[in-house]
Chains A and B, each alone.
Chain A
């Protein structure tokens, strides 16, 4: 058995070695694939805060992913066409600056998470799963018919947005940027898990009545977790949009929510690096199985079933043993 923190180091080194090797051997597409895995990992790390720490089974995280994506799409499209975003009450113009887009994505998705969270947290269990799904569908149908920003066609941004000092169109540079963000969020997440807030949230997931009897409000803790979770997934959405230089309502679809959840579960719910492993695995499978057969979804399905039925605690659980231990 490998200790979990050792495994985490191995995983991290995979994220360094493969792209470097691809860079040296001039295989830019491998870097693009790794970027995709990194961005999915970030989205799933976001969901894991709600799911793993807060016990909130959200089947609507595509909402935040999509909001992040459209933050990028809308800002960049206005910058691209030199039209102001709004003229009233103040003149706001679009932007091609990644940091600005990220901040916007984080704020917008946090606001959405606040609203959705307040309403959804009134329910629990299956009802929570379903109400988050319903919010996802609302955003999905809205984005399809919102013709100002392309509707179902989506929005194409021809050139990747700018980050000071980098040429973001070079695959390895954009990858480095995404990886740096992922690592930062993972580091913050590891602090969060052991912080007073993480402690209280962890208890609120397991024994809400206990949290109540020490005078804390478990609902507010969960709401805060949901907001942080939404904000992180929103940031991932903005990165994903920039990776593809394109946003579309697919980002809001329930399949997207399902996939983000799949990343978390195959990696290991509540594990710091669970979502990272899950996303890497998924992208690899998509790539290899997709090349094997037109019917590769069958193999993917069988593999997922195997993990649920026989692998406890996801991939990390299988390698490190079941116990999920905090520091």
Chain B
């Protein structure tokens, strides 16, 4: 598997090099994403999804400059400076983490650059801090949590135990859940960021008498929680957002995740020709199933390509309205931008299943229809 990725990577690099050398690039895109250290998997997926779409477009006038932010905000800011000052890119994209986005986005949009977010959607950027140059192609951070709350409500849960790490995105997550959930909260628990042992929280869950658990624990935290939860003998059903059940990490959770319900705006079994073409071409290109992040990277590139069809980046106003029109077919199905340039889309509930040897997700229902976000009303644009 390792060799495969390596070969792919070098192929990719030479592809980029070829793209940049053959033609006078009309459009220069700067991608700042996490490619090394913990969390590199997400950045790699976004990059691969994005580059796949660029490759399929067969356009030679787009140059993509990719840089690794190491998940450090100060490095991300420095790279953004580099992209703007010396690479002179027209469009920026790629950032995975909310805190890095908060560090980079306001500054680059203020400098007149377009920013397309393939993953993070912190609430300040959707509300009062929105900007005509900022487009979020993934979701506003609350989106999947809203859906979690709505799902818990529709399933008739009356007493839910909710849990997230103690940092802004965690607080947002639990508030997002509570927005559409009307029952009682058995207990609201904030864990340490980066915590790896959840024995004590699981004991609290066991003692709480809750009828469901909603948790937001991205990355390794979620893997640890699920493995420990499944071994604890507690049988209360678990709901979460897609982040802990993504294709990339699901294999590491294994059977512990089977049957868990999670909310997502995308899944590989969405039965549209665009999506099926995306899944099979991604599989062919990279020899692995695409993840949610890959789908978002792919959508981001396609949005960009669609706008380039109607306007040139040098025509700022024209290009912005071309982006806003979102005249592309998203792999997730219906997609349009709200007044704050954040997606209005459907959110599904998925279940973790095993297909052959591979753990993956299956859509079992739609929770929210054409869902926007609650911050749009604060956006004066």
Q: Which residues of A contact B (CB under 8 A)?
A: 27-30, 32-33, 36, 141, 144-145, 147, 150-154, 156, 158-159, 171, 240, 244-246, 248, 250-251, 290, 294-297
Residues of B within 8 A of A27 (CB): 86
Tell me if B167 and A245 are in contact (CB < 8 A).
no
Residues of A within 8 A of B103 (CB): 154, 156, 244, 246, 248
A–B Cβ pairs within 8 angstroms, 10 of them = A27-B86, A152-B99, A154-B73, A156-B107, A244-B77, A245-B107, A246-B103, A290-B67, A294-B36, A295-B36
Given contacts A246-B73, A297-B36, contact A152 B82 (CB under 8 A): no
Given contacts A245-B107, A248-B99, A295-B36, contact A290 B168 (CB under 8 A): no
Q: Which residues of B contact A (CB under 8 A)?
A: 9, 35-37, 40, 67-68, 72-74, 77-78, 81-82, 85-87, 98-99, 102-103, 106-107, 110, 122, 166-169, 171, 190, 192-193
Tell me if B74 and A250 are in contact (CB < 8 A).
yes
Tell me if B107 and A171 are in contact (CB < 8 A).
no
Tell me if B74 and A29 are in contact (CB < 8 A).
no
Q: Complex formed: what's the CA distance from A33 to B169 in Å?
A: 31
Name the distance in Å between B87's Cβ and chain A's nearest Cβ.
8
Q: Please name the residue on chain B nearest to A296 by beta carbon.
A: B36
Name the distance in Å between A89's Cβ and chain B's nearest Cβ.
30
Q: Complex formed: what's the CA distance from A307 to B86 in Å?
A: 32
Name the distance in Å between A104's Cβ and chain B's nearest Cβ.
21
Q: Complex formed: what's the CA distance from A29 to B102 in Å?
A: 21
Residues of B within 8 A of A294 (CB): 9, 35-36, 40, 68
Residues of B within 8 A of A141 (CB): 192
Given contacts A158-B107, A158-B110, A246-B103, contact A152 B168 (CB under 8 A): yes
Q: Complex formed: what's the CA distance from A145 to B99 in Å?
A: 13
Q: Complex formed: what's the CA distance from A29 to B87 in Å?
A: 9
Residues of B within 8 A of A156 (CB): 102-103, 106-107
Residues of B within 8 A of A144 (CB): 166-167, 193
Residues of B within 8 A of A171 (CB): 85
Given contacts A152-B167, A290-B68, contact A29 B122 (CB under 8 A): no
Tell me if B86 and A28 are in contact (CB < 8 A).
yes
Pairs A-B, 10 closest by C-beta atoms: A29-B86, A152-B167, A28-B85, A244-B77, A246-B103, A29-B85, A153-B99, A151-B168, A29-B82, A248-B73
Name the distance in Å between A102's Cβ and chain B's nearest Cβ.
19
Residues of A within 8 A of B190 (CB): 145
Tell me if B74 and A246 are in contact (CB < 8 A).
yes
